[in-house]
Structure 1
Amino acid sequence: MSELHQAEDIRNLTEKVKELNLSFSILKKEINKAIIGQEYMVDRLLIGLLGNGHVLLEGVPGLAKTLAIKTLAEAVRGEFSRIQFTPDLLPADVIGTQIYNIKDNDFSIKKGPVFANFVLADEINRAPSKVQSALLEAMQEKQVTIGDETLSLPTPFLVLATQNPIDQEGTYQLPEAQSDRFMLKCRIDYPDFEDERKVMRMMSSSHQPQIMPVISLDYITEAKSLINQIYLDEKIEKYILDMVFATRYPGKYGLSELTNYIAFGASPRASINLAIASRALAFLRNRAFVIPEDVKEIAKDVLRHRIGLSFEAEAEEMTPENIVDKILGKIQAP
């Protein structure tokens, strides 16, 4: 493709992006009526939704995680369900089961709460591995098998799984192969003073914000199909791959000091998801092309749960975020 044709395609794509992005700006404004001071979390939810991925959210209780995804569902007229993960939960409680009907002398399927557009898996590490696997299989395949029947999940389909970082007693840590299936792992903190003042006033008021559906699920589907068309230059592709490969072979990138800290590096899903998430972020920033700042902004969310730390790293209190910061500081952006 010639540079002239490429420039023309980007101009045409930019018009589509601006047209669709206007609706997403209205969507964010509607969500912010109920969610105050958590713009980072809302952006990551939208990136996961647009990128056809899922989000693992880590934060203490009370940071509006449930309210955020429920508000998003209301604003797009999507179906929402919440699953509270507990040690006695069974896979059937998540995906559904077969029920014997005496009248018809046959089995019928009762669908579980996973059959929704937006699913909140609250405290996913509270349930044993069988239950985690049932949900994660549904996330990956976008379908569920109950008995001998395979059922497709709704479109769009977004799982927001939460973890509490401070109370780990009686929890089942997600294995690396399962956490790798989340596009993003985000860490959220307390709101600042003024934002919390606004939350306090809003929640103590008799007039609670009413969330109205402002865009349809068809808009979401149209925007998702546009994401893969966002222009990603070869230099940006190399930048993404260099970043991921530096987690595997730090010595080759002049980061020998990280070798003893990394037990294993990021998987190929990291490269794929970093490219998709960067494109989704560019879309939300009203651009039809990815710039290095998009990759830098989303890098920690894509990589933090894909870097395995050695015992030495844990002993020296080295975190995945520290490692990503060193990689970002070393690898030159195009």
Structure 2
Amino acid sequence: MQIRPVGLLQAITEGDPVERSVASQVDELQAVAQQIRSAVETVIEGKPEAIELSLIALFASGHLLIEDVPGVGKTMLAKALARSISGTAQRIQFTPDLLPSDITGVSIFNSQSRTFEFKPGGVFANVVIGDEINRASPKTQSALLEAMEEHQVTVDGVTHPLPDPFMVVATQNPIEMEGTYPLPEAQRDRFMLRISMGYPVRASEVAMLDHHGAGDPLADLQPVTDVATVAGLAETVRTIFVHGAIKDYLVAVLEATRHSPDVRLGASPRAGLQLLRAARTRAVLRGRHYVIPDDIEALAGPALAHRILLSPAAQLARRDADEVVESAVRSVPIPDRD
């Protein structure tokens, strides 16, 4: 952990024109997030970091990619998050025979009215659970691109808006697993954060045997908020103050990934925009109405590692993308007031 210059925090707080209404909204978002966290924790044992990153993606209006081996609770986390906000949820099982029209929808000719009627696909929901997304072909995966970026789909030249809020929670197995396709770079860039569940610690796994063995905690999970509240609080996140020095620091981190000798393709400008939104949300979840360097540093790995392409030399050396991003962050000095 790098040492923080004392003058920076003072400059941020002095330059933050926080209003009383914004402060109350920060408190409300923090309280609602805690309720969702508590609800999800009744289903997912011992994964506080994964749950927090899920909440950050939700309130930052981003999409979440959950990557890990089968059986560690990827789909369960996505379902618990969807159920806790009382929104519509659709689960799309990505298989090799899945068609793009299964995701976006299709126009069907009505013989009685002699017109084409649009039948929505699985993407029309507040939370779309893409189960094992990398088992479908790249063509089918690409059907999500417009939906994830613009919150709309275009079928036969007609644009159809998606519900608000709209979030894709996709799970995928490691690409070394049999029957998987690597996600296209353009689609990976649409995911705000990528997380890995990992195996639970022994105490959490024992507790899971007790809770899940006696029943289904997901069936007992009750909504703790609604989609209108989530959408309103997501707008609050956009008002969180970001000092100019923090923006310069964020861009310097992006540039460090682009100039790293271990990287063939660095983080995109879209990555910077989404990292900033995620950092604003993290600040709110910690009760702050301003962003500090710690927010950027903590989220750089989950927000950037899945977007970069390692160089052939780094791949031969078995370098990890998270390790490369961490090294890039360490190479950037913490901003000072001057």
TM-score for the superposition, normalised by structure 2: 0.90
In the alignment, what sits opposite 1:236? 246
Aligned-partner residue type, residue 42 of structure 2 = K
What 5-or-longer segments of structure 2 have no aligned partner?
A: 1-10
Which runs of 5 or more residues in structure 1 are unaligned? Answer: 251-258
Cα distance change of structure 1 residues 188 and 105 upon mapping to structure 2, 3 Å threshold = same
Shift of 1:141: 1.7
Other-structure match for 2:96: 87
Count of aligned residue pairs for this structure pair: 324
Identical residues among aligned pairs (%): 39
Q: Which amino acid aligns with 1:324?
A: V
Mapped partners of 2:86, 2:49: distance in 1: 22
- 1 CA distance for matches of 2:204 and 2:316? 36
Q: 1:25 to 1:324 in 2, by over 3 A?
A: same
Asked if the contact 2:65/2:171 (under 8 Å) is kept, the reply is yes
Between 290-299 and 60-69, the greater mean CA deviation after superposition: 60-69
CA spacing shift, 1:41–1:207, aligned 2, 3 Å: closer
Where does 1:59-98 land on structure 2 (aligned, <5 Å)? 59-98=68-107
CA distance in 1, matches of 2:290, 2:19: 8
* CA gap 1:4/1:35 in 2 versus in 1, 3 angstroms: closer
Distance apart, 1:10 and its partner CA: 5.8
Distance 1:113 1:238 in 2: 40
Q: Which moved more, 1:115-124 or 1:261-270?
A: 261-270
* Residue number among 233, 236, 243 corresponding to 1:223 in the alignment: 233
The AA in structure 1 aligned to 2:79 is K
Corresponding residue number in structure 1 for 2:273: 272
Is the CA contact 1:59–1:189 (under 8 Å) kept in the aligned structure 2?
A: yes
**SS class of match (1:9):** coil
State whether residues 85 and 124 of structure 1, in contact with CA within 8 Å, keep that contact through their aligned partners in structure 2: yes
Q: Which residue of 2 aligns with 1:25?
A: 34
Pick closer, same or farther for the CA change 1:104–1:223 going to 2, 3 Å. Answer: same
Displacement of 1:82 in angstroms is 0.8
Contact (CA 8 Å) 2:85, 2:227: kept in 1 or not? yes
TM-superposed CA distance for 1:242, in Å, is: 0.9
Q: Which amino acid aligns with 2:167?
A: L
CA contact (8 A) 1:91 1:131 kept: yes
Relative to structure 1, is the Cα distance of residues 206 and 88 closer, same or farther in structure 2, using a 3 angstrom cutoff? closer
Paired position in structure 2 for 1:124: 133
The Cα offsets for residues 47-81 of structure 1, whole Å up to 9 and x where unpaired, read as 11211111111111122222222222221110111
> What is the alpha-carbon root mean square deviation over aligned residues?
2.0
Aligned to 1:202: 211
C-alpha distance in 2 between matches for 1:312 and 1:325: 18
Change (3 A) 1:12 1:141: closer
| Pair 1:239–1:207, CA change in 2 (3 A) | closer
Deviation at 1:147, TM superposition (A): 2.3
Tell me the equivalent position of 2:319. Answer: 318
Per the alignment, do residues 75 and 307 of structure 1 end up closer, same or farther by CA in structure 2, a change over 3 Å counting?
same
CA distance in 1, matches of 2:181, 2:28: 44
Name the residue aligned to 1:186. Answer: 195
Please give the residue correspondences for 1:106-185 in structure 2 after superposition, counting only pairs within 5 Å: 106-165=115-174, 167-185=176-194
Equivalent position of 1:245 in the other structure: 255
Q: Distance in 2 between matches of 1:275 and 1:166?
A: 29
Which stretch of structure 1 is more off in the superposition, 30-39 or 80-89?
30-39
- TM-score using structure 1 length: 0.91
